[in-house]
């Protein structure tokens, strides 16, 4: 149960109802991370747009790479809600022979990641734990792993988004949904 009042799907009217319809999961449910914004539909809209841009819109980073970053940042921030959701999403994106990586990333076991994935995790970890310590040498390291400046920008965006989302979830007490509702992307992000 969130720490603040939320408006359920069945009670939503006007702009909030429209946003719930737009950002609902395929089964019509709305994730708790979104419902905690229900008292301020403009905030919900802004959150969704940042999420979709960071994690679902076209990027030279794969969706799986972005989920690896999100799961890592959420683990570091002790946000079980986001870690659970995004590890489930990662598992859905990975081919059968790599699905084990989702559980490994949750437990901070990065031994089976590619060099590129490891470089992204290292950068996201440092940016999450000590953002003021990032220097040009960190970017040089990412370049050495064949990441472009656009990929680095997108990695920073995903890392920053999850720092934000983790604090919304933890600060407002969003709780995990039922297992069948975890790991789905909103319909809007599938366009």
Name the average pLDDT for the chain: 93
Give residue 26's pLDDT: 83
Residue 1 lies in a domain: no
Same domain membership, residue 94 and residue 36:
no
Same domain membership, residue 101 and residue 46:
no
81-138: pLDDT as tens digits: 999 999 999 999 999 999 999 999 999 999 999 999 999 999 999 999 999 999 999 9
Same domain membership, residue 147 and residue 70:
yes
Same domain membership, residue 52 and residue 133:
no
Mean pLDDT of all residues in 145-159: 98
Same domain membership, residue 116 and residue 166:
yes
Same domain membership, residue 103 and residue 165:
yes
Q: Which DSSP string corresponds to the chain?
A: --SS----GGG--HHHHHHHHHH--TTS---HHHHTTTT-HHHHHHHHHHHHHHHTS--SS-HHHHHHHHHHHHHHTT-HHHHHHHHHHHHHHS-GGGTHHHHHHHTT--TTS-HHHHHHHHHHHHHHH-GGG--HHHHHHHHHTT--HHHHHHHHHHHHHHHHHHHHHHHHT-----GGGTTPPPGGGG-
Q: Has residue 25 got a pLDDT over 90?
A: no
Mean pLDDT of all residues in 62-81: 97
- Tally of domains within the chain: 2
First-last CA distance in the chain: 31
Residue 15: which domain range? 9-56+175-190
Mean pLDDT of all residues in 50-61: 96
Same domain membership, residue 45 and residue 128:
no
**Higher per-residue pLDDT: 182 or 52:** 52
pTM equals 0.93
CATH code: domain of residue 123: 1.20.1290.10
Same domain membership, residue 160 and residue 100:
yes
**Higher per-residue pLDDT: 73 or 28:** 73
Residue 3 lies in a domain: no
């Amino acid at each position: 149960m969130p720490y603040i009042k939320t408006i359920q799907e069945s009670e939503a009217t006007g702009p909030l109802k429209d946003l719930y319809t737009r950002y609902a999961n395929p089964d019509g449910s709305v994730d708790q991370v979104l419902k905690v914004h229900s008292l301020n539909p403009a905030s919900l809209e802004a959150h969704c747009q940042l999420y979709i841009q960071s994690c679902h819109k076209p990027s030279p980073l794969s969706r799986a790479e972005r989920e690896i970053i999100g799961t890592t940042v959420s683990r570091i921030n002790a946000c079980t809600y986001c870690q659970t959701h995004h590890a489930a999403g990662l598992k859905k994106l990975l081919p059968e022979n790599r699905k084990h990586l989702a559980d490994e990333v949750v437990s901070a076991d990065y031994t089976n990641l590619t060099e590129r994935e490891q470089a992204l995790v290292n950068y996201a970890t440092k940016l999450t734990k000590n953002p003021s310590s990032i220097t040009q040498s960190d970017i040089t390291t990412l370049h050495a792993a064949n990441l472009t400046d656009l990929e680095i920008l997108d990695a920073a965006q995903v890392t920053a988004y999850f720092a934000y989302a983790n604090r919304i979830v933890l600060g407002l007490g969003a709780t995990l949904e039922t297992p069948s509702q975890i790991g789905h992307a909103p319909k809007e992000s599938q366009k």
